[in-house]
Amino acid sequence: MNAMSHNQAGNAYNFGFLDEYAKKEVRRAILKAIAIPGYQVPYASREMPMGRGFGTGGLQLTLSLIGPNEVVKVIDQGSDDSVNAVNLRRFIEMTCPGVSTTTATAECTLIQSRHRIPELPLTARQILVLQVPYPDPLVVVEPSEDKRKTMHGEADYSRLLVKLYEDIVKFGEITISHRYPTRINGHYVIDPSPIPRWDVPKLNDSAALILFGAGREKKIYAVPPHTKAEPLAFSDVPFRVEDFRDEQGRRRACARCGCVDSFLDEFVTDSGSKTYQCSDSDWCDMQLSKARQTQGEPA
Amino acid sequence: MSYVAIKGGGQAIAGAAAVSEYLRTEEGLGNTGAEPLAIDAILHQLRHLVDRVVSEGGVYHPRFAALAIKQSMGDTLEAAFALRAWRSTRPRLSETPPLDTSRMRLIRRISAAFKDIPGGQMLGPTPDYALRLLRLELMDESPDAFRAVARNWLEKCPEAELPDTFPKVLDALRAEGLLPPVSATRGQTAFDITREPLVFPVPRSAQLATMARAETGSLLAIAYSNMRGYGDVHPTVAELRVGYLPVMLPHPVTGEFVEAGEVLITECEVVAMYEADEAGGKPVFTIGYGACFGHNEVKAISMAILDRALQKGMKDGANNPSEDPEFVLLHVDGVDSMGFASHYKMPHYVTFQSDLDRLRTTQQKSGEPA
């Protein structure tokens, strides 16, 4: 308990904003979440000074884990500079004096992210915190939390599989675009947060610990390092990530860095044509500086 | 270039804050008489706004509630949110015993069940029977006239010796055997919703605590659905009281309970139709309880109706949304619901990209021969 000693920075709040009891409770929930991979641990989520839905669950995880030597990266939609990422990073800087922040995926120890897992593979010394709006994949088939809890306990995902099957019957395709239900360690199916399907394979056998925080729904869950994560699919209809091929079947490239193996954002330009660009801004910068180096230009 | 759109987020946020602050202070443009809204003015002249914010903010701090109202320019959801966020940084240091509301210093007390009640009906400050006509004379109220009103009222007020306690209407009904006996769970430690998550089924104290800091409009809407026909509470207001409740806290040294101050609260007890006793005993009325910080009668009544509806739902299964604890308790919190509604304004490029991918693929497939 070093609540008072950190109370310098001129703000009236504790280091990490939350009081120490609140942080301890979050840490206890994290430990339980790691011990039972994919299980949604309920916790008494605190109100944060930003809107529920803006990353308050992820932020409580980040603030409970953050230490004085932490190097933190905050991304939203893959970008370090989108308004919400800037806002959360500023809040962390304000309430955690001494902590450094970065935009470089390779340099950080703690990443808070909304909707993306970085393209650069994470390492064992990193923790990824994902912000979660809907923690329960079963909510699409069962609105009652009480009933869903039983279904999870019994690993009863039949109605979810029926939904996938009905999609195939109706549309010839599984229509789930993001928040793709993923089975963790052979039992619990999680909602991996609204990451695109592109990012789902990164959950499997990840070197880094991946934590999920749903502030409004008051749940924490985890995919521990080197844990099996399998997106729900059928043996004859495999799971597929987003398709970035053009009409001729060629993989589209990022208009900025030329990368052909990253998740792309689609833009409509002023002239009305479409252009594509890396969603992960740090990855895009890295590719750009690599390309410049090989061309002998200053990075 | 298009990627410029996601750059400069920091400047955009600062700009948004600056222009909001401009709107707050705009009145001062070339107007030497303009004065910032005083916290005391909000506390007194916008008292029902303060009542609402302390209640929905979940912490009895009227001055900070007034500050929150000032900085949010009167947005109740935002003001309650700011107060709640401040509250969530405060550790819980002590616990009160169950407080005895018969000891309230009353400003208002009514019963719809009986013409006269022990201790008497006391209408107090209420707009219930006021004609909702615009008082145009307030458009340009003179400060002198304003200051004279309260003074004149007090001078004319007869000295009255009010008793320290008023008996509860429910006690009389209970003594007559018309109500269920006091529950065995009474006096047990209350469920603290700020420290424990709701894992259903939740005890009644967790339900009451959740509703006590619920957003007034949300609570009213669900309670209204029950009153109109999606439910069957048909309540009678046995008693509604508004007043200042002494708060007792254990003395840090002796452990003895001492009065630490008082909070303005509204309390409502409704009596609803009776049910057959399953154990074969005599049928008795059922009751619903509502209470919240501040003077907010609509909220207390809504809460009492929903308390009764939820008890029924817990017992017999929910036949209506208002009888389903998950439905009611997870959708009445203003901070949660307004936050989530607002979050849709944030960028969703990635998920939308993913949606586009699915729709295009599906459209392609539907064009193919089966």
User: What confidence category does residue B4 fall into, taking pLDDT thresholds of 50, 70 and 90?
Assistant: very low
Structure tokens at B19: 């222009």
Q: For residues A171-194, give the mean pLDDT.
A: 94
Q: For residues A144-166, give the mean pLDDT.
A: 95
- What span, in angstroms and rounded, lies between the C-alpha atoms of A80 and A284? 12
A-proximal residues of B, 301-360, CB under 8 Å: 326, 330, 335-336, 338-344, 346-351, 353-358
What is the per-residue pLDDT for B369? 61
Strands A182-184 and A229-231: antiparallel
Tell me the one-letter amino acid at B58.
G
Q: pLDDT at residue B241 above 80?
A: yes
In 3-state terms, what secondary structure has residue B356? helix
- What span, in angstroms and rounded, lies between the C-alpha atoms of B182 and B240? 19
Active site residue A96: no
User: What confidence category does residue A6 fall into, taking pLDDT thresholds of 50, 70 and 90?
Assistant: very low
Domains, in order of start, for chain A: 20-231 (3.40.50.11310), 243-299 (2.30.170)
Residue of A nearest to B366 (CA): A171
What percent of chain B has pLDDT above 90? Answer: 65
Q: CB distance A176–B335 less than 8 Å?
A: no
B-proximal residues of A, 91-110, CB under 8 Å: none
Q: Is residue B201 part of a domain?
A: yes
Q: Is residue B307 part of a domain?
A: yes
Higher pLDDT, B136 or B183: B136
Active site residue A259: no
Summarize pLDDT for A77-99 with one digit per residue, the tens: 999 988 899 999 999 999 999 99
Angle (CA) A185-A190-A193 rounded to 5° is 130
Helix (H) / strand (E) element for B257: namely strand B257-275
Residues B119, B196: one domain? yes
Minimum distance, in Å, between the CA of residue B3 and any CA atom of chain A: 8
What percent of chain B has pLDDT above 70? Answer: 95
Q: For residues B294-321, give the mean pLDDT.
A: 95
Nearest to B326 among A78, A144, A263 (CB): A144
Residues B209, B82: one domain? no
- What span, in angstroms and rounded, lies between the C-alpha atoms of A222 and A37? 6
- What span, in angstroms and rounded, lies between the C-alpha atoms of B164 and B162? 7
Residues B245, B329: one domain? yes
Active site residue A38: yes
User: Is any Cβ of chain B less than 8 angstroms from the Cβ of A20?
Assistant: yes
Summarize pLDDT for A22-57 with one digit per residue, the tens: 999 999 999 999 999 999 999 999 999 988 989 999
Could you tell me the residue range of the domain that residue B242 belongs to? 101-131+167-339
Closest CA to B271 of B129, B125, B171, B121: B171
Give the Cβ contact number of residue A58 at 10 Å: 28
User: What confidence category does residue A4 fall into, taking pLDDT thresholds of 50, 70 and 90?
Assistant: very low
Closest CA to A82 of B33, B8, B25, B14: B8
Mean pLDDT value across chain B:
90
What is the per-residue pLDDT for A1? 35
Strands A189-190 and A229-231: unpaired
Residue of B nearest to A21 (CA): B91
Contact B166, B103 (CB under 8 A): no
Q: Is residue B350 part of a domain?
A: no
Q: For residues A239-255, give the mean pLDDT.
A: 94
Summarize pLDDT for B40-65 with one digit per residue, the tens: 999 999 999 999 999 999 999 999 99
Tell me the one-letter amino acid at B315.
K
User: Is any Cβ of chain A less than 8 angstroms from the Cβ of B17?
Assistant: no
Q: CB distance A76–B347 less than 8 Å?
A: yes
Residues B264, B331: one domain? yes
Summarize pLDDT for A183-241 with one digit per residue, the tens: 999 999 999 999 999 999 999 999 999 999 999 999 999 999 999 999 999 999 999 99
| Contacting residues of A for B91, CB less than 8 Å apart | 19-21
* DSSP code at position A128: E
Residues B189, B306: one domain? yes
User: Is any Cβ of chain B less than 8 angstroms from the Cβ of A261?
Assistant: no
Closest CA to A154 of A142, A166, A163, A167: A142
Nearest to B339 among A51, A198, A267 (CB): A51
Nearest to A53 among B1, B91, B340 (CB): B340
Residues B66, B186: one domain? no
User: Is any Cβ of chain B less than 8 angstroms from the Cβ of A276?
Assistant: no
In 3-state terms, what secondary structure has residue B201? coil
- What span, in angstroms and rounded, lies between the C-alpha atoms of B96 and B150? 35
- What span, in angstroms and rounded, lies between the C-alpha atoms of B226 and B320? 8
Q: Is residue B113 part of a domain?
A: yes
ipTM above 0.95, yes or no: no
What is the per-residue pLDDT for A10? 45
Residues B40, B186: one domain? no
Nearest to B9 among A56, A85, A177 (CB): A85
User: Is any Cβ of chain B less than 8 angstroms from the Cβ of A183?
Assistant: no
Q: Is residue B55 part of a domain?
A: yes
Residues B114, B72: one domain? no
What is the per-residue pLDDT for B25? 96
Q: CB distance A83–B9 less than 8 Å?
A: yes
Mean pLDDT value across chain A:
92
User: Is any Cβ of chain B less than 8 angstroms from the Cβ of A83?
Assistant: yes
Q: CB distance A46–B6 less than 8 Å?
A: no
User: Is any Cβ of chain B less than 8 angstroms from the Cβ of A51?
Assistant: yes
What is the per-residue pLDDT for B273? 80
Q: Which of A16, A57, A58, A257 is catalytic?
A: A257
Residues B211, B126: one domain? yes
Q: CB distance B10–A90 less than 8 Å?
A: yes
Q: CB distance A173–B353 less than 8 Å?
A: no
Instruction: Give the residue ranges of DSSP H helices in B188-254.
Output: 204-212, 216-228
Among A12-16, A71-75, B119-123, the range of highest mean pLDDT: A71-75
Q: For residues B288-295, give the mean pLDDT.
A: 97
- What span, in angstroms and rounded, lies between the C-alpha atoms of B321 and B248? 37
Q: For residues B352-365, give the mean pLDDT.
A: 88
Contact B236, B113 (CB under 8 A): yes
Residues B82, B112: one domain? no
Residues B303, B262: one domain? yes
Q: CB distance B200–A145 less than 8 Å?
A: yes
What total of structural domains would you count in chain B?
Answer: 2
Q: Which of A16, A38, A55, A58 is catalytic?
A: A38
Residues B63, B120: one domain? no
- What span, in angstroms and rounded, lies between the C-alpha atoms of B103 and B246? 7
- What span, in angstroms and rounded, lies between the C-alpha atoms of A242 and B272? 57
